Amino acid sequence: MSGFTYDAIAKIYDLLLFPLEKFGIEKLRRRFVPMIEGYTLDLAVGTGNNIKYYPESSKVVLIDASSKMLKIAEEKAKNKRKT
């Protein structure tokens, strides 16, 4: 796709990914993401769908090429800290 950026779909990305999340990816996230320990680099974090599964003791750096996707991930991280 010429000129395509994830910034263009950031607001609807979670909606687009919803079927994949519910029928497979979420199960894998629940199983494997809690296993991380210590310092972790989450490359291509997207909108941060792993965030709710990180152990409280983990230290995670989030990186994504899309500033709009990363902004959504940052909000998810802030909301997790509040709970």
Write down the pLDDT at residue 1.
46
**In which band, very low, low, confident or very high, does the pLDDT at 13 lie, cut at 50, 70 and 90?**
very high
Residue the block writes with tokens 């409280």: 56
Task: Confirm whether 70 is domain-assigned.
Answer: yes
Task: Confirm whether 1 is domain-assigned.
Answer: no
Report the CATH number at residue 64: 3.40.50.150
pTM (global) more than 0.75 = yes
Decide if 64 contacts 46 (C-beta within 8 A): yes
- In 3-state terms, what secondary structure has residue 25? helix
Q: What is the average per-residue pLDDT within 55-74?
A: 94
Write down the pLDDT at residue 77.
93
* Number of independent structural domains in the chain: 1
Domain of residue 33 covers 6-82
Residues 6+ apart with CB under 8 A from 23: none
